[in-house]
Amino acid sequence: MPTTQRPARRFTRRQFLQGCSAAIAAMAGARLTHVAYADPTAPGSYNEEIMVVVFLRGGWDALNVVVPIAGADRGYYEDAREELQVPANQTLALNAQFGLHPALAPLLPLYQAKHFAIVHAVGLTYDTRSHFDAQQFLELGTPGQKNTPTGWITRHLESAPNLPPTILLPALSAGSTQAMALLGSTEAAAMSGPNGFNLSGHWHWGDPQRAALRELYTGANWLYEAGTRTLDTIDLVEASVTGTYTPANGAVYPNGSFGDNLKAVAQMIKADLGLRVATIDLGGWDTHENQGDEGGGYLASNQLAPLAQGLAAFYTDLSNAACAQDYTRKLTLVVMSEFGRRLKENFNHGTDHGHGNAMFVLGGHVNGGQVYGNWPGLANAQLYDGYDLAVTTDYRRVLSEIVSKRLTNPNLATVFPGYAGYTPLNLIQGSDPVTPPVLPGPHRLFMPLTQTGGCS
């Protein structure tokens, strides 16, 4: 397990928090100024990359998302999907072989700008068609093993050698529950959004009540930990997030919790609290019936359209012409789901649980504009269990490349224990760290995200 010493980081985070708390901010003014500057002796030795994982709950229909448009596979696809097939000439051409579902049009400019890559026939190399098993395996990062006590992102945070010890809010689950990928993390917050994230305390008695609450939640136990983390998050939000959030560049998020959650993540990224990983869920993909014929209907308008609109808005919101303020240069966003759906449509104009899947990877250092992976084909003999798109790329290979190249955490064996299959697909720019970097000392101060970051 990781060799890092969490108390070290925690301690300094707590100290910084004191400086943040609005109630004492005035007294700590000098302190805040101090903290606002990075240690000048070793600038840039911290990793400042941000990873956002969007999980599509229910198993999205990858074959109608990244659609085969040519060759024999188009024929197999049309044979199997008499009703549901997306007409080839309506798809958005990705290359000679695949077209993107037309409802994802808002993402096409990112593909063309090479900020958006697709991996096809990717997924879990474990035999399950269970939603809940598959989600657990993926998020715990241990296929076949469900009692792993921590999620893969938790283990990344614990083993990353290059996060500032004073980092304040390294991980956020947008929504009301904490993602399983962050299981066991004592430094992740769950939040639907910063606005309203407060105790609604009395104008006079609220402060002493809050102070007493901190005392009451002192101790070593999962509940005390959670209580302290909650109070810290309330303090952080109060000290750093004020007023209504206006997305940049005219970005318009879709209505609903997915758009709200994306917006909250963007807001928290810009609050410069050190957010490094965030998780967002979008449900509704379990389309056993009436998912929409010929590429229209439910899947197109209720699911894919808001997904694309949300991701495009998020990207737009985080972009900036001045590269030092362009958060997309530090961003890698992954879209994943527990499995793809069956090649053959069912009798109810839907699709049942399948296997092989597609992942999206977006970000400033993505070698986009390409479809990655080893396409297995859709002939009967090429299908998994005779039914489904096969998995030819382990999902951990994609995530490992992000962890390794962008988050520069070399401890892949900790993040994905038992997985030895990593070689880069080269869908991400950067190089794999060979050895763990020399670690910074304990006196490092928080480095605002905007201060460095490559404009490569």
Partner 1 sequence: MPDTVSSAAPPRRLSRRAALRPDRLLAALPPFEPPPPAGLRAPDAAVLQGGDPALPPLSVIVYNRLAFGPRPGDLAAFNALGGNDDARLTSWVDSQLNPNGISDTNCDNLLAGAGLPSLNKSLPQLWADYYVGNQGRTQPINDIREATMLRAVYSKRQLKEVLADFWHNHFSVYAWDYGYASATWVHYDRDVIRANLLGNFRTMLGSVTKSTAMLYYLDNYINQVAGFNENFARECHELHTLGAENYLGVVNPLTVPKENGVAIGYCDNDVYEAARCFTGWRVNNGYWGAPGNDGSFYYQDGWHDKANKLYMGQYLPSSQASDPLKDGNDVLDLLANHPGTARFIARKLCCRLISDDPPQSIVDAAAAVFSANTNAGDQLKKVVRAICLSAEFKAAWGQKFKRPFEAAAGMLRATNADCSNPDNSFWWYYESAGQPLFARRSPDGYPDNKSVWANTTALMQRWRFANILVRDDLGNVTVNLLGQMPGGLTTPNQIADFWIARLLGRAMDPAANRQEIVRFIAQGVGYDNPLAAQDIADRLPHMVALILMAPDFQWR
Task: Work out whether 348 is an interface residue with partner 1 (CB under 8 A).
Answer: yes
The nearer residue to partner 1, 79 or 289, going by C-beta atoms, is 289
Q: Which is nearer to partner 1, 213 or 248 (CB)?
A: 213
Q: Rounded to the nearest whole angstrom, what is the least distance from the CB of residue 248 to partner 1 in the complex?
A: 26
Judged by CB, which is closer to partner 1: 45, or 97?
45
Distance in Å, CB of 250 to partner 1, minimum: 29
Least Cα distance to 62 among 424, 400, 419, 393 occurs for: 393
Residue 186's alpha-carbon distances to 1, 149, 171, in angstroms, are 16, 12, 10
Dihedral (C-alpha) 339, 342, 346, 348: value to the nearest 10 degrees?
A: 30
Rounded to a whole number of angstroms, the minimum distance from the CB of residue 382 to partner 1 is 16
Q: Collapsing DSSP states into helix, strand and coil, what is residue 417?
A: coil
Q: Can residue 14 be called a binding residue for partner 1 (CB under 8 A)?
A: yes
Q: DSSP letters of 317-335?
A: HH--SSGGG-GGGGEEEEE
Residues numbered 142-201 forming contacts with partner 1, rule: CB under 8 A: 146, 161, 165, 173, 175-178, 183-184, 188-192, 197-201
Q: Which stretch binds partner 1 (CB under 8 A): 8-16, 71-79, 262-270, 396-404?
A: 8-16
Cβ count near 129 (within 10 Å): 17
Q: Mark the segment that binds partner 1 (CB under 8 A) among 125-133, 245-253, 324-332, 423-431.
A: 125-133
Among 229, 329, 330, 397, binds partner 1 (CB under 8 A): 229
Q: Considering the complex, state which of residue 70 and residue 445 has its C-beta at the smaller distance from partner 1.
A: 445
Binding mask 260-299 for partner 1 (x = CB under 8 A): -----------------------xx-x-xx----------
Number of amino acids touching partner 1 (CB under 8 A): 92
Contact set for partner 1, span 384-403 (CB under 8 A)? 385
The residue within the footprint of partner 1, chosen from 44, 75, 87, 208 (CB under 8 A), is 208
Residue 133 as a binder of partner 1 (CB under 8 A): the answer is: yes
Helix axes 222-240, 206-216, angle to 10 degrees: 150
Q: Which stretch binds partner 1 (CB under 8 A): 94-102, 305-313, 348-356, 365-373?
A: 348-356
**Shortest distance in whole angstroms from residue 16 CB to partner 1:** 9
Contact residue for partner 1 among 70, 92, 108, 129 (CB under 8 A): 129
List, in sequence order, every residue forming a beta bridge with 281; answer none if it has no partner: 55
226 part of the interface to partner 1, by CB under 8 A: yes
Integer Cα distance of 407 and 285 in angstroms: 30
Token pair 């917006």 is found at 263
Specify the amino acid at residue 137: F
Using CB under 8 A as the binding rule, whether residue 130 contacts partner 1 is answered as yes
Ranges of beta strands (E only) in 214-347 are 277-282, 331-337
Shortest distance, CB of residue 24 to partner 1, whole angstroms? 5
The residue assigned the tokens 């997030």 is 241
DSSP 384: B
Q: Tell me 254's DSSP state.
A: P
The reply to whether 31 sits near partner 1 by the rule CB under 8 A is yes
User: Nearest approach, Cβ of 352 to partner 1 (angstroms)?
Assistant: 5
User: Within positions 39 to 78, which residues make up the interface with partner 1, using CB under 8 A?
Assistant: 57-58
Closer of 21 and 393 to partner 1 (Cβ): 21
Residue 11, interface with partner 1 (CB under 8 A)?
A: yes
d(CA 215, CA 428): 46
Strand residues in 387-449 grouped as ranges (E): 393-394
- Whole-Å CA distances, 109 to 116, 117, 224, 311: 9, 12, 47, 12
Beginning with the edge strand found earlier in the chain, give each strand of the sheet holding 66-68 in spatial order.
Answer: 66-68, 98-100, 92-93
